[in-house]
Structure 1
Amino acid sequence: MRSRLHSDDSGSTGHEKATPVSLFLGSDRSALIVTVLFVFSLLSVPKFNLPGVIAFGTFPLFLMFATRLDVNIIVKRLLQISPFVLFMAAGNLVLDRNPVMTISGITLSGGMISGTVIVAKTIISVAGLLTVTLCIPFYRICCALESLHVPDLLITQLILLERYSSVLHKEAQAMQKARDIRSFGRRGKGLFRTAPLLGSLLLRTTDRAERLYRSMSARGFNGRLASRSPANMSPQEWKTVGLWTLFFLALRLIF
């Protein structure tokens, strides 16, 4: 018995159902290709070209307002990664102290500008990725990856990771609740007490994953969830990808 990634009524490619970005990015497959082109085009901007990075911010902003997404969701997720981004960019302030320009009596070093560019690149690229992925269900993204000839093993891992991430969350909640019951105030919640809990969580998760795998194997799971041959790109998809490619190239040439 073989599990199927696609439903029986979804057609041969799995891209026919409309999504909020379909009008602007075409099918799920072309949407992923355009998103990858956007990220690579943004990363190609030189480290001191802040206007060029800001110009690429028009892509996620356009999709946010065109699809009427809740901007607060994206802002919250960006705030969650902001400490890591700021920490990563802070090293530029130390490594590059050469003065580059002076604005209103304030001297800006190369590290300040390049660090700002790093932060802007990260925020804009993540915002673009979040905008597209929030508009397309995860299983549809996996269908599109299959049609782009991504290895079946990777697709299966992504599907299982998304499906059973809640299992890890429940295990962590159970362990945290048990620790809180046995703790008094801040006692038992220090770093040296938390570290063994992480190791225990890893062992419990591994054991749970092994039992899940045995259960799936008993029901006919053979290591693959994808089961259909991917179709070729349609002319409309190539047209959508080509138009967005021209747009990204125009931004790079202008800025």
Structure 2
Amino acid sequence: MIMANIIKSLYNIRMLDELAEKRTVIHSIHPLMKVMTTLAYLITTVSYDKYAVSSLLPLVFYPVVIIVLAEIPPVPIVKMALAATPFLIGIGILNPLFHHEPAIILSGIQISEGWISFLSIMIKGIFNILAALILIATTGMTGIASALRMLRIPRVFVLQLLLTYRYISVLAEEAVRIWEAYMLRTPGRKAIAFKTWVPCVGRMLMGAYGRARRVYQAMALRGFHGEYNPGDVKGMNTVDFAYCIGWVTFFVLVRYLNFSAQIGAAILGVMK
């Protein structure tokens, strides 16, 4: 089960890298504008009140539109975002225990403020994770790194982010190699024995370190001396600025106009 999760994670990383190579209208937007738009989306999402639920829902429009325009397969991306739900549950699961005040009554069932805040945490977390995954899938880590350097983020942090992202795949590939070698030498077993976990983990880390060292030596031979060089980065044009300004305007309108309440009131008015 653990190895299956590692293989799945490795596949997801490679899938994001492959999606970043697409040529769509979203992929052609300048990386800096996409990073700025994503930051504005994250700030807007977390700025909501801890009991906000319905007012958050219009924000789903952003990831849905980007997924469609960027031709990203929705099911894998949504599954990757939902994989983080155990962490979100761990963050908010205690809220219902400490906040017992009744918030709403739905079909005769009283729902406390704790459950409302818990649901709000889940929605905010999933939206933010989905936005981050979409950014990687439409920009790539190289593009994100170049945008961060344009924002004057210190070089050491950008390099750490970029190399950590690459090193995760190296570590995962080494884990897969050890798993396959162990299974070939112990036919009939479905998992690695507990007593061999320590040497296997040690071998995995040493193997990943060796591969990472060879990668660094190859980079050094090609002229790498600690300075991140994004290569040729295209200049920004009117479409790039319009993309960022348009989305930021939408986020501000959604944040302060409460479209959900207005739509609900309109529906109730028509039903009457």
Normalising by structure 1, we get a TM-score of 0.77
Q: Is residue 2:32 matched to residue 1:29?
A: yes
Distance in 2 between the 1:230 and 1:211 partners?
Answer: 28
Q: Is residue 2:181 matched to residue 1:178?
A: yes
Does structure 1 retain, via aligned residues, the 8 Å contact 2:27–2:138? Answer: no
1:42 to 1:183, Cα distance in 2 relative to 1, 3 A: same
Deviation at 1:127, TM superposition (A): 1.8
Match of 2:92 among 84, 89, 92: 89
Match of 1:134 among 137, 150, 164: 137
Q: In structure 2, what residue type is equivalent to 1:210?
A: R
Moved more, 49-58 or 59-68: 59-68
Structure 1: segments with no counterpart, 5+ residues: 1-16
Name the Cα RMSD after superposition. Answer: 3.1
Distance in 1 between the 2:48 and 2:63 partners?
Answer: 17
Q: In structure 2, what residue type is equivalent to 1:20?
A: V
Does structure 1 retain, via aligned residues, the 8 Å contact 2:143–2:230? Answer: no
Does structure 1 retain, via aligned residues, the 8 Å contact 2:170–2:212? Answer: no
Equivalent position of 2:204 in the other structure? 201
Equivalent position of 1:106 in the other structure? 109
Deviation at 1:30, TM superposition (A): 0.9
What SS class does the counterpart of residue 100 from structure 2 fall into? coil
Q: In structure 1, what residue type is equivalent to 2:177?
A: A
Distance in 1 between the 2:232 and 2:218 partners?
Answer: 27
Q: In structure 2, what residue type is equivalent to 1:21?
A: I
Identity %: 26
Equivalent position of 1:241 in the other structure? 244
Q: In structure 1, what residue type is equivalent to 2:26?
A: V
More helix by share: 2
Match of 2:25 among 12, 20, 30: 20
Q: How many residues align?
A: 237
What SS class does the counterpart of residue 111 from structure 2 fall into? strand
Does structure 2 retain, via aligned residues, the 8 Å contact 1:149–1:230? Answer: no
Match of 1:47 among 35, 46, 50: 50
What SS class does the counterpart of residue 224 from structure 1 fall into? coil
Distance in 1 between the 2:257 and 2:246 partners?
Answer: 17
What SS class does the counterpart of residue 57 from structure 1 fall into? helix
1:206 to 1:183, Cα distance in 2 relative to 1, 3 A: same
Equivalent position of 2:170 in the other structure? 167
Normalising by structure 2, we get a TM-score of 0.73
1:118 to 1:143, Cα distance in 2 relative to 1, 3 A: same
What SS class does the counterpart of residue 220 from structure 1 fall into? coil
Deviation at 1:233, TM superposition (A): 6.9
